A and B are shown apart, each in its own frame.
Chain A
Amino acid sequence: MAEDKKTILIIEDEVAMLRALVEKFEKEGFNALSAQDGEEGYEVAMKENPDFLIIDIIMPKMDGITLMKKIREDEKWGLEVPIIMLTNLSDPESVSEAAKYKVYDFLVKTDWRLNDVVKLVKERLEL
């Protein structure tokens, strides 16, 4: 069973949010990894090559867009891994920046219930 678990990496600087997301995804049968800033997120991502990424935009050290750009530079794993941006920003500059790097979806935190975020991830991973 353990091998079937999909790994999801959540990169979010707000601890309470990070905890909520990690707890929810673990409950839903994921192996949830976490990071609290862009640089740490990049390190974990390159080491673990998770199946899915959820990234915030405004973060210390490295913002989410830059992080996504760097991940996409990795040709083996990073080019295709599905990424969701989960953020407080809703301006089209951020959305179109994110679209440049093949973001799977761009979600505004307040508009989404955790159940629906999980559903979206599961749909993408065909679970």
Chain B
Amino acid sequence: MDYIYSLVTQTGIHILLGLSVYTVALTGQVSFGQQGFYAIGAYVSAIATTLWGVPLIPALLLGMAVSTIVGVLVGFPALRVKGLYLAIATFAFGEIVRNGLNIVYYTREVGGAEVGPVGPEGFRNISNFNDNGWTTLDVMILVVIIVAVVLVIYAMLERSRLGATMRAVGADELAAATAGISVVWIKVGAFAIGAAAAGLGGGLYAHFTTFLSPLAFGLSVAIIAVAYVLVGGLGSWLGPVAGVLFFLALTEGLRFLGEYRMMIYGLAVVIAMNVRPYGLIDAKLMHRLKDLLGSRAQSARKET
């Protein structure tokens, strides 16, 4: 059972990562740098719990806050850059963070052992869950609750004026600006929200794995986070969730293939993009779903 619990936990954390790319993508931009915020959230909250003795939830919020602030600071200059140029600029940010972690040394003696990030060797013994006697099931429940709350917030965001504004900027910046939308603020805001989601995911990841290494925040995380969104689709917040589940099904379902697994994985992505180029849950499918649900609701009303 522990295996299933940690699988669910990982899925939840990756949904947060996918949502962070999704938020930026709503405004029409692709970011290959969300793993940088993920790393910042992870390191900050882990330092808070292990070195400073801060309780878990405030530590997670602190990690979120710091990555949000960094998100705004990076977002302002970076969003001058657009499209595929921005994809590379944000990737540069992610790599700066990852390489920066290689020169972060900050250890302190806690309970007779030296803990803290040690440059390229990483950050061992993030034992908050263990110290407080949490089982894998408890961790899973915590992550599920947090992810559920975040998803509800996203569902509300999507129906709100802000969500519509973000989509408007994504669809046509010039038209949105003409309609009186402050394009810069919406884009920086989306960047900040995305950074917050990634920071939260990073904090959970740090405490779940108990060990952080700068190597864990490289290109592969950047690619998979973007893949969740593009394979899942940009039609609704269900898109990144579908993307995460798609890749989860691939990695778990193809285990029997042994060393051929990653080959088939690559091939599956190629095929998925040929069959559904706009992602599994694209705008068209969402319209159809809404029509379906809408007409049902109407017919139900007629009957009564």
A, B from the same assembly: no
